[in-house]
Amino acid sequence: MKILVTGGAGFIGSHLVDRLVTEHEVVVLDNLSVGKSEWLNSKAKLIKGSVTDEKAVERAMSGCDVVFHLAAQTDIKKSSEDPKHTYLVNVVGSKNVFRIAEAKGAKVIFVSSAAVYGPKAPACEDDEPQPMSEYGRSKLEAEKLCPKGAFVARFFNVVGPRGRGVVYAFCEAIRTGSGVVISGSGKQTRDFVFHCHL
* Catalytic residue set: 135
HSE-CB at 63 with a 13 A cutoff on CA atoms is 6
Q: Please name which of 20, 105, 17 lies closest in space to residue 61, comparing C-alpha atoms.
A: 105
Beta bridge partner(s), residue 168: none
- Give the Å distances, CA to CA, from 8 to 21, 28, 82, 87: 12, 5, 23, 20
| C-beta of residue 6 within 8 angstroms of C-beta of residue 71 | yes
H helices of 4-156, where?
Answer: 11-20, 54-61, 76-81, 83-87, 93-104, 134-145
